[in-house]
Amino acid sequence: MRRLALITAFFMLAACSNGQGPQKTSSIVPTAKVDGARIMAADQEPGNWMTYGRTYGEGHFSPLDQITIDNAKNLGLAWYFDIPNARGLEVTPIVVDGVMYTTGFYNVLYALDAKTGQMIWKYDPEVRRDWGRYSCCGVVNRGPAVWKGKVYEGTLDGRLIAVDAKTGKLAWETQTTDPKKPLSITGAPRIIHGKVIIGSSGGEFGVRGYIAAYDAETGKQVWRFYTVPGDPSKPFENKAMEMAAKTWKGGDWWKHGGGGTVWDSMSYDPELNLLYFGTGNGNEWARKLRSPGGGDNLFLTSIVAINPDTGKYVWHYQEVPADQWDYDAAQQIILADLQIDGKPRKVLMQAAKDGYFYVLDRTNGQFISATPFVKTTWNTGIDPKTGRPTISKSALYGSKEASVVWPGPFGAHDWQSMSFDPTSGLVYFSAQDQGYAYSFDPNWKHKKMQWNLAQNPDAKTPPDAAQITYRGYLYAWDPIAGKPVWKVEYKDMWNGGVLATAGNIVAQGTADGRFIVYRADDGKKLWETQAQTGVMAGPISYMADGEQYIAVAAGWGGSVPLIGGGLTPVHSGYNRILVYKVGGKAKLPPMLAPAAIPQQPKPNATKEEVAKGGVLYNQYCANCHGSGAISGGMIPDLRHLRHEAHQAFNSIVLNGTLARYGMAPFGDVLKRDDVQAIHAYILQRAWDTMDQK
Ligand code: CA
């Protein structure tokens, strides 16, 4: 028992308490009285942030102007709220009438007093802790939604839940996914005409993507729109699927899904009554494996417009035909009215994972422009009429030798929110440069409930793989001219989402643990503070009692630190909502000193066993514990295991001794000697990287 307790203590990260000292009860009663009319008139009450992007057009822009270029230097911490068990925060909180609603560790939902940070209630949906194994990019969530007295969120294990805003008690819950499939929800719901709209993730595992609407009062499904065709022996669900099926040829993608998940962005134009969303990559990544006869594989990596009342298809634009590079088009979609070639156009804009900034006519999906904002090598040009790219020969990777393609699967821009200032017409977003050596395993057999990227670890590494670098940027982008007005370069990638405000400021957290305010028109740095951990989420701004606040969720995690490990800074220990105002006087407690790293036992396995362990580690462990056994920090670094964990290694990995802390058992896919080989690989990595000899 004592041994287990020690291991448990090791696996749990520092448990934190709320930083406000002894808690008084807040007198505020949350009402969450939000409806479509109120969201459509959001600019009339800029002190609230009532939906994910503040408006249905998802501009992530605040019209508040109390915080300006002149007083930003006097910003300080107003309050902070600790979220225990730091596994990463991607949430954009909602603020309505003095109450902040946010999600935290494994979908725990909180209502906080927006002025003081005092907790009003919390609701724990008790998400299956081992479900992290069936989700690609961390046990994270991008936020709640509110509507007519209820607070909604999608859970990692695929439920949509509604909680009474006053009491914090469950109103209803609906399992939106098949629990026998590796589907999960990390995105924030949007609510249109009384329907809660949500998709799911799972494209790296092999699932059939879809988006669906549920009645906000009852949780009953109203419609479901699939993004890729299903079993060809069955009738098509609709005309759109009949059209899409013509672009899939051969193969048995439909047996495990094909991909195209709708895992993040949505935006809505009330006038056109169109809902826009982005779809994810195909599965497996290589088209040869999923659709060997060729074809564009609709609607992978596309922006699709549908009617939000019926789920009926209206138009689509496929950014990357037959995507083979994990270029999910799931990034934020901003709606705006721009003057293009002297004509007013209703556009939508996306800074996509594939490295291009797209501008489309949102009335009909017509292509307007696409401009690269980082190094891109996957195409040789985009037809200015049709918007169809010509794929580079060098990007069409094989199985024997890998090909380096830019961007790589971490993407040029991911879910991190971008901000559009309608006055200046500029879009502010976080970007990153990085390439990847792609190859495919021609003998890949689909693995149920597991990662199915089907890359070939035995492929020869090309010489240009040594030139791959990883770098981050903040852009102020002119979407009409298709070029940056200014940019900030960061040493690291995976920086935070961006907020611009009418005070001519831009706020962003960084991978290296800072929170920074820039001047919006020229990029001059006005103020920065230490966040004590990496920040990936996007900030919001709101008013409480006549004062303007800027809030951001600080907490390191997500795909890059989880899978990439040492490719980014390592942070651990803190997940917090940080809230700033002019003259704020609160202080974060000093950071805890990192725990001493125990001396590791000397490796004594054979080269062959270590090599076998490395292959198994990459398939089953690296996606959370980091490639090369270097952790990004929010998951235990296996090179630092204590004696007790080494002793219990088999039972942790095979039997799930620590499943309740999120370490799922792998006894269904690994045998005892496999685990021994993985253990040998980790020990070797500890010695190779820690200089402990
Ligand atoms: Ca993906």
pLDDT at 691: 62
Query: Which residue intervals of the chain bear CATH 1.10.760.10?
Result: 2-14+595-689
Buried b (16+ CB within 10 A) or exposed e, 251-270: bebbebbbbbbbbbbbbbbe
Peptide bond before residue 299 is cis, with ω within 30 degrees of 0: yes
- For residues 559 and 565, give the distance between their C-alpha atoms in angstroms, rounded to a whole number: 9
Q: What is the DSSP letter of 611?
A: H
**What Å distances lie between residue 268 and 64, 350, 679, CA to CA?**
23, 14, 50
Query: Which residue intervals of the chain bear CATH 2.140.10.10?
Result: 36-582
Q: What distance in angstroms lies between residue 589's CA and the mean position of ligand 1's atoms?
A: 37
pLDDT at 19: 45
326 is catalytic: yes
In degrees and rounded to multiples of 5, residue 687 shows phi and psi of -70, -40
Q: What distance in angstroms lies between residue 260's CA and the mean position of ligand 1's atoms?
A: 9
Helix residue spans in 503-647 (DSSP H): 559-564, 607-620, 622-625, 643-647
- For residues 361 and 341, give the distance between their C-alpha atoms in angstroms, rounded to a whole number: 13
In degrees and rounded to multiples of 5, residue 10 shows phi and psi of -65, -40
Q: What distance in angstroms lies between residue 610's CA and the mean position of ligand 1's atoms?
A: 29
Q: What pTM did the predictor assign? A: 0.95
- For residues 621 and 37, give the distance between their C-alpha atoms in angstroms, rounded to a whole number: 47
pLDDT at 14: 36
Identify the CATH homologous superfamily for domain 36-582.
Answer: Quinoprotein alcohol dehydrogenase-like superfamily (2.140.10.10)
Mean pLDDT, each 10-residue run in order, the chain (693 residues)? 43 41 71 98 98 98 98 98 95 98 98 98 96 95 98 98 98 98 98 98 97 98 98 96 97 94 98 98 97 98 98 98 98 98 97 98 98 98 98 97 98 98 97 97 94 94 95 98 98 98 98 98 98 98 98 97 92 93 97 88 95 95 94 93 95 95 95 97 92 51
pLDDT at 15: 37
**Biggest CA pair distance of the chain:** 74
- Which amino acid, one-letter code, is at 414? D
Identify the CATH homologous superfamily for domain 2-14+595-689.
Answer: Cytochrome c-like domain (1.10.760.10)
- For residues 659 and 653, give the distance between their C-alpha atoms in angstroms, rounded to a whole number: 9
Peptide bond before residue 284 is cis, with ω within 30 degrees of 0: yes
Q: What distance in angstroms lies between residue 203's CA and the mean position of ligand 1's atoms?
A: 6
Tokens of 301: 């990596």
- For residues 492 and 108, give the distance between their C-alpha atoms in angstroms, rounded to a whole number: 30
Half-sphere exposure of 611 (CA within 13 A, CB side): 5
Q: What distance in angstroms lies between residue 536's CA and the mean position of ligand 1's atoms?
A: 18
Strand partners, 313: 306
Q: Evaluate whether 263 touches 328 at the Cβ level (below 8 Å).
A: yes
Q: Can you say how many angstroms the Cα of residue 193 is from the centroid of all Cα atoms in its chain?
A: 26
Write out the residues surrounding ion ligand 1, Cβ under 5 A. 203, 281, 326, 328
Tokens of 165: 């805003």
In degrees and rounded to multiples of 5, residue 564 shows phi and psi of -80, -20
Query: Residue 367, SS3?
Result: strand
* Rounded (to 5) percent helix, strand, coil in the chain: 15, 30, 55
Tokens of 458: 């035995």
Q: Which one of the listed residues 323, 326, 328, 421 is annotated catalytic?
A: 326
Q: What distance in angstroms lies between residue 137's CA and the mean position of ligand 1's atoms?
A: 9
pLDDT at 690: 76
**What Å distances lie between residue 497 and 29, 137, 218, 538, CA to CA?**
30, 17, 33, 4
Q: What is the DSSP letter of 567?
A: G
Q: What distance in angstroms lies between residue 328's CA and the mean position of ligand 1's atoms?
A: 5
- For residues 637 and 643, give the distance between their C-alpha atoms in angstroms, rounded to a whole number: 14
pLDDT at 11: 45
- For residues 304 and 251, give the distance between their C-alpha atoms in angstroms, rounded to a whole number: 25
